[in-house]
Amino acid sequence: MNKRLWMLPENECCSEQLVASAARHVKLALEYLNHKTSVERKHTILSEIAKLRTERDALLNEAVCTDKNKN
């Protein structure tokens, strides 16, 4: 994933979505680590994080492909 981040073009919309996704991921991770979080909620959090990762990968792939097509 790190290589794709370096190749990411200066796309303001994409950047905002990536930052929002990362912020949500961090909040979910902190909630997951809280000892008071129920097992059921932890399962839900894992699903939400998996979805965020998929969305992130799609954004990065789209941005890299779009940038390559411009050249």
pLDDT, tens only, 1-53: 455 555 555 666 688 888 899 999 999 999 999 999 999 999 999 999 999 99
**13 is a domain residue:** no
Instruction: Give the pLDDT of residue 62.
Output: 79
**46 is a domain residue:** yes
**36 is a domain residue:** yes
- What distance in Å separates the CA atoms of residue 20 and residue 16, rounded to the nearest whole number? 6
**9 is a domain residue:** no
The boundaries of the domain holding residue 66 are 21-70
pTM of the complete model: 0.74
User: What's the total number of domains in the chain?
Assistant: 1
**6 is a domain residue:** no
**33 is a domain residue:** yes
**1 is a domain residue:** no
- What distance in Å separates the CA atoms of residue 19 and residue 56, rounded to the nearest whole number? 10
Q: Which two tokens stand for residue 4?
A: 């794709």
**11 is a domain residue:** no
Quick check: 41 and 31 in contact, CB under 8 A?
Answer: yes
